[in-house]
Structure 1
């Protein structure tokens, strides 16, 4: 009887260990930028758990660089906060080996001002704040080029910087600022280009922007993973859970029309 009891206990312990291992395997960590995009991802996480039994642990960040570093070093299984041009720039500059597992939303960037109501009111010498990450800075300058306010040497280059401005007839003063800080410094500049990730939590609506991207924007956000993981079962389950009407409805609620599903 003693041997039987020990055997039963051993089998029970083994079963528990296997169960814990399987539960751990069906668990992924996904990075987001703190704010409404995290709330949107939480809806996807709830769907993934209900539909697939997949636990999606959301890790929040407050900048645009760390989530890719965390993905590269294995601290994350995926992240969902960036568009493809930004990811490509990081891959090229830092040697990351990433792939796209799925698409999320287009979050148009807009130019906001607390001093002026239109681009026509901007004075010569106005101070314009730009996000300092490679692609969001480029998309801001391309918007100004398309409005005829500056001239770029190559407006098809998605990663232009102020160094690529060949004509600045209004003598604008461009300040490169970390994206998360742009809403905070808005009162101190004449105009700031702010990604909707940070504009919406600051109470800035896309309708209030002096200029913004349209639906033709190439900057659709993505779910990024390490190369080779894009077909991993847990990743594809998370993508399927994200690309749902429930997630789109949550984004509509939070972003008030300023988040366009990129998977449709």
Structure 2
């Protein structure tokens, strides 16, 4: 089988560079191109292997539409506005779309759902194998531990992250809510400041830390009188997310149109 042509929008950022490296190092894939914003100083520069510096023969462009046209799959870790536009390109050119963008609104997610009617879309808040196992374990633990166990989700990321709580933290909250058989929107507690009163039984709380260059740390804590159960994942390099995204890209090629997540890619049970 010929190599799968994979494009990367936002190829110059930290995550973009990790993705470039993974694609260039994988024998089943070929890098079809990479894009940056039109005002980026990287536009027109060679795309090099981030570790070796070897040139790929491609240059960074600002034409995301063209990238979707020439690619089998495009990986997208950008921003909500850009991702919504990219969904329209995926539909137009029948290009599989791998989306790791966080901070999406309902309007953005409607665009993803529309694209998924035409092409395979893998949309996940986190592409790490370990984190997706954490989602599964969180749901299972929440289903076994009743409301005597208060659930708290703690996350920490680098100082440059712009959204909070993280998409992964919210997905962990949804997994816990699913395990309890409730809607996260009905039990979420994201803001605590001043005299808040005592904790409401059954709520799922969130706490956020920011600082340094932390790639991502998430803990789900189940707290009862005299005992606590904690499930934790710590990422030390964003390469784990790039590897998962590439796995999703290779998996998506040839699949039917539909909205998928990493449970589909990894074969984890959803129920």
Q: Same fold (TM over 0.5)?
A: no
TM-score by length of 2: 0.34
> Higher helix fraction: Structure 1 or Structure 2?
1
Higher relative contact order (CA 8 A, sep 6+): 1
Larger gyration radius, structure 1 or structure 2? 1
TM-score by length of 1: 0.35
